[in-house]
Structure 1
């Protein structure tokens, strides 16, 4: 099942039919349930059918008041890229160590107001010279730490700033409109299949300038392992979104440009498409 957040309510997609949910709690309370799949399965029977065009054209980022956190260096390809970008600053060894360490890299990514949904523009920093999209499976975990849903995420990053010094990571990762999330919250009965594919393309003036793919099985860490570390000594009253790292890394000759169109697709969840805008004046 897929749950969509719209300006006027919540829509559930099941077996290619879209139903408006009636008499359900507001978004935060609705999704922050350990029994979310069973709850939605029961509520679906009471909702009126709506047009798929309306849902896909009007859906928002599937987030309420939750924070967005992120994981780093969870794929081998990411380890290599981070080592290369930071070698001149002497930070390459940090990324090699964290890839093999027991404790994963987990960092704060965005407050809800810095997250953009499907069709909206995200931003790149004015003081950055090398910017990349990072397509990532994004988990939603409830207050208890149970993974109940999945979404498509884009952990937009400045590689020039992070590469200059690893301690600049917060500036490279967190700024206005720095994260994309959507198009829905995928709520399966069982955990997502590790064979699930992730694909990304970047179009510039209608021409593809980058394309790449990976699968969740290429990730070094287990999904629940990442959540468990996040929840150590940290609580989330309305649940939390956790990006799980990227296995698709453009080469050093690629950087995002204003008006590029980034499309990220994860099997079973859907496509998230966003254009690039420059930071605000």
Structure 2
């Protein structure tokens, strides 16, 4: 679950301890609690100008080997375990940022959330669109020419508008403190019968708009709910345990930069209790909008984030492999084991359950403030 070159990586994370959440870093395979009045939250850590250097030199308490945390239950608050590496930050997400998955969003819309119709519509849509979206620059003259052609064919979509138009789709994935971390259950709303994981890079941005590092995320997607209407995006995306982030934020430094992140190759494996196995990839080199452009459309004079934010960058992956019946494609079953991995960021592992069966989210911002005050950290 660690980056292949973790010995020279600056990693920042959060761990649930018996007395409350802790800010941690990894040093030679040992987890060090660096929580202090100087850095009581991940938000405060990400604001530091000397972030990488601070992770190297900050005093702290050795709380054990990383292997022990990985073996711990994530559903017992009294057992030390990894949390999502974000606390006060907003959790935002970019949608329709890859041309190939953009086509699948159009198919969802045309099918109105009905998986039985997807294969027929996929053939028609791809017959018209073909490779016209490959390598296209959103908002460019070529993009507007393609838009005119698709409108004439009756295939223009709100998903294509945010995919190749001038304005990116950026939405709130979940509330601060609501994301789950490595090893936790991820939740599907029980009304959904057509859904999938979305393996993504997640950027950590501070209150000044500086991109401080990257991690992995699963932007759990309910294809049938969003496909019925884009106005149901909130219901499709923001549910109990529907956002997984981790295991650690890898801080940008001389050994890991934005260009390294742009070259990331994510892999996804889904292993079901029914013996089903699915593999997929998402190559950041194929993203339609540069990540810095997505950040600039999120934060600026038009919108401030005083506690910073984490931003899902979107995914190339949209599974169409049949699982149950021909033509119905992929959908999750409870008990699926999902692993999202990238060589420089490690691996994020979660198990799929219904949102109603996942532990309820009860520790919010107010609880964190009371906990930190009680520990003398505020």
Using the size of structure 1 for normalisation, the TM-score is 0.91
Equivalent-residue separation in structure 1 for 2:14 and 2:188 (angstroms): 26
Q: Deviations over 1:154-175 (max 9, x none)?
A: 1111100111112221111111
* Equivalent in the alignment of 2:223: 159
Asked if 1:53 is matched to 2:122, the reply is no
User: 1:187 Cα deviation (Å)?
Assistant: 0.7
Q: Deviations over 1:180-221 (max 9, x none)?
A: 011111112032512211111100027452111122111111
Equivalent-residue separation in structure 2 for 1:74 and 1:212 (angstroms): 17
* Equivalent in the alignment of 2:99: 76
Asked if 1:4 is matched to 2:13, the reply is yes
**C-alpha contact 2:29 2:65 (8 A) present in aligned 1:** no
Equivalent-residue separation in structure 2 for 1:125 and 1:17 (angstroms): 37
Q: Deviations over 1:40-98 (max 9, x none)?
A: 2332xx44654222344422111112221100111112111101111144886222222
Equivalent-residue separation in structure 1 for 2:312 and 2:197 (angstroms): 13
User: 1:235 Cα deviation (Å)?
Assistant: 1.6
- Partner SS state of residue 224, structure 1: helix
Equivalent-residue separation in structure 2 for 1:264 and 1:52 (angstroms): 19
User: 1:142 Cα deviation (Å)?
Assistant: 0.1
How many residue pairs end up in the alignment?
Answer: 279
Equivalent-residue separation in structure 2 for 1:156 and 1:11 (angstroms): 26
* Equivalent in the alignment of 2:353: 277
User: 1:245 Cα deviation (Å)?
Assistant: 0.3
**C-alpha contact 1:37 1:148 (8 A) present in aligned 2:** no
User: 1:3 Cα deviation (Å)?
Assistant: 1.3
**C-alpha contact 1:201 1:208 (8 A) present in aligned 2:** no
Matching residue within 219, 229, 234 for 1:170: 234
User: 1:279 Cα deviation (Å)?
Assistant: 2.9
Asked if 1:262 is matched to 2:338, the reply is yes
**C-alpha contact 2:86 2:177 (8 A) present in aligned 1:** no
Equivalent-residue separation in structure 2 for 1:243 and 1:25 (angstroms): 24
Q: Deviations over 1:232-268 (max 9, x none)?
A: 4222121101100011111151001111111111221
Using the size of structure 2 for normalisation, the TM-score is 0.69
Residues 22/106 of structure 1: CA separation in 2 closer, same or farther (3 Å cut): closer
Moved more, 133-142 or 226-235: 226-235
* Equivalent in the alignment of 2:258: 191
Query: In terms of Rg, which structure is larger?
Result: 2
